[in-house]
């Protein structure tokens, strides 16, 4: 795969800005035959083993209701290098979740005091694959140790999320509102940098990406025309490319910084085989069933990262999880609306995950 270039970027930008086609294709489960079957007439039914990978793939097949609900929760571990490898693997094994999701905490873009005006965004450089070596070390190590057990998803921050590492978010938003076209010059280069990381991750054998979006909150860039030009356009360029490279991506609509209005028109056409949704949108609760109808694909979430999952007893967590599962659509992954606190007891997460696993048994 070739290094990203500005010429290639601009060639694809006009197409990507149109959005993606509705009606994303569904993927057949890898192992639909792995259900209870008889080896021979008159023999006792035999349950064929299905791996965590098989069970995740079954979620994508919208033509049937899987008899198993996968689950997973995420946290920032606060460590790097080999310690981060061990933290991810210990967490995966300790919770019993169904896939490995790698945080993008190894490195970030440095604050840049030269960015004082919208025109200064043209100074943002395009980063090569080599710059991402710490993150790629983490990914390569986890692929080597865990890919035989489960699917490996790499977190991918959006160009907007990376841009607000360079300057405070309020400065970025002010620059966008003052001169959006000037800021877009920097967003292009950030997008190309992330693409270089994506290509390297695919070469290493990542199964998919956990693709994040922010910036359209009511307290950020709420105007949809401005949002489409300066944020969504680059999200779509990046995530459409990702969707061509791997077949299983989870879109995360992050409401950590605020809530969204115009939710459906803002996000409905974003790529991603599964959508990890917030609990609220357009000033009202967003149920998983409603979200599934909006996106016409499997959804993920259901539990409040700050609620019972964090402070409840094991019985309370089980009950809260049961309520989510009862109202969830057929094709669904249990999770939270965003990352959980690092101090949350692992037993709390295990209880929620085990409840999901047993719900349809």
Contact 155, 75 (CB under 8 A): no
Rounded Cα distance between 352 and 336, Å, is 10
Give the pLDDT score at 327: 93
- What residues contact 294, with CB distance under 8 A and at least 6 apart? 263, 264, 268
Task: Average the pLDDT over 319-346 and give the result.
Answer: 96
Read off the pLDDT of residues 133-180 as tens digits, 9 standing for 90 and up. Answer: 999 999 999 999 999 999 999 999 999 999 999 999 999 999 999 999
Cα angle 275-277-280, degrees, rounded to a multiple of 5: 155
Asked if CATH classification 3.20.20.210 holds for the domain at 6-21+51-358, the reply, yes or no, is yes
Rounded Cα distance between 230 and 158, Å, is 12
Closest-CA residue to 240 (of 13, 88, 23, 63): 13
pLDDT range class, residue 46, cuts 50, 70, 90: low
Read off the pLDDT of residues 341-355 as tens digits, 9 standing for 90 and up. Answer: 999 999 999 999 999
**In the chain, where are the structural domains located?**
6-21+51-358
Give the pLDDT score at 11: 59
> How far is the CA of 321 from the CAs of 292, 329, 361, in angstroms?
18, 14, 15
Give the pLDDT score at 50: 86
Record the tokens describing residue 318, joined without a space. Answer: 């089980």
| Residue that is written with structure tokens 């939710």 in the block | 263
Tell whether the model's pLDDT for residue 110 goes beyond 50. yes
pTM: 0.88
């Amino acid at each position: 795969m070739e290094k990203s270039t500005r010429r290639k970027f601009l060639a694809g930008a006009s197409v990507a800005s149109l959005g993606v086609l509705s009606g994303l294709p569904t993927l057949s489960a890898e192992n639909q035959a792995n259900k209870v079957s008889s080896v021979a007439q008159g023999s006792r039914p035999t349950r064929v083993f299905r791996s965590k990978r098989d069970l995740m793939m079954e979620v994508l097949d919208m033509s049937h209701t899987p008899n198993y609900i996968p689950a997973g929760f995420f946290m920032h571990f606060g460590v790097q290098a080999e310690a981060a490898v061990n933290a991810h693997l210990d967490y995966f094994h300790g919770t019993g979740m169904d896939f490995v999701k790698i945080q993008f905490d190894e490195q970030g873009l440095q604050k840049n005091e030269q960015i004082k005006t919208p025109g200064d965004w043209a100074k943002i450089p395009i980063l090569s694959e080599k710059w991402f070596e710490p993150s790629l070390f983490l990914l390569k190590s986890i692929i080597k140790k865990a890919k035989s057990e489960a699917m490996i998803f790499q977190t991918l921050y959006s160009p907007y999320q990376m841009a607000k590492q360079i300057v405070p978010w309020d400065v970025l938003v002010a620059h966008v509102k003052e001169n959006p076209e000037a800021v877009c010059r920097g967003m292009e280069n950030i997008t190309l940098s992330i693409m270089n990381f994506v290509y390297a991750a695919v070469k290493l054998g990542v199964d998919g990406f956990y693709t994040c979006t922010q910036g359209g909150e009511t307290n950020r860039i709420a105007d949809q025309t401005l949002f489409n030009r300066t944020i969504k356009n680059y999200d779509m360029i990046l995530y459409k490319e990702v969707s061509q490279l791997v077949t299983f991506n989870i879109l995360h609509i992050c409401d950590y910084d605020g809530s969204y209005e115009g939710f459906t028109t803002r996000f409905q056409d974003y790529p991603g085989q599964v959508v990890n949704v917030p609990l609220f949108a357009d000033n009202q609760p967003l149920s998983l069933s409603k979200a599934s109808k909006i996106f016409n694909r499997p959804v993920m979430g259901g539990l409040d990262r700050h609620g019972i999952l964090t402070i409840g007893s094991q019985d309370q967590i089980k009950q809260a999880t049961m309520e989510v599962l009862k109202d969830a659509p057929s094709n669904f992954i249990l999770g939270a609306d965003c990352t959980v606190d690092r101090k949350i007891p692992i037993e709390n997460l295990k209880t929620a995950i085990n409840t999901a696993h047993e719900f349809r048994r």
